Amino acid sequence: MKGKGQTALIAAVGLGSGLMYVFDPVLGKTRRALIRHRANRVKRMSRRLAKSIDRTARDLANRAQGIVREVHALAARIS
């Protein structure tokens, strides 16, 4: 069994193991809560990162615009 068949078998075993881990009758509820908590944390961190990138981009755009205006003002004074 090589190629696609072997890959499919490995994927099926991995999926089955993951489902057993999450839906375990003893610890499954705790594990699902932990997964939910971690997913929410990643979501929050992603939003913060996006806001930070947006702020930085706006700051750099404003600084560049200020430099362009200063150069135009200086050129107007010289000529």
**Overall number of domains in the chain:** 1
- Cα gap 72→75, rounded to integer Å: 5
pLDDT (tens, 9 = 90+) of the chain, 79 residues, equals 567 889 999 999 999 999 999 999 999 999 999 999 999 999 999 999 999 999 999 999 999 999 999 999 999 998 7
Structural domain boundaries enclosing 72 = 4-78
Helix axes 28-78, 4-22, angle to 10 degrees: 110
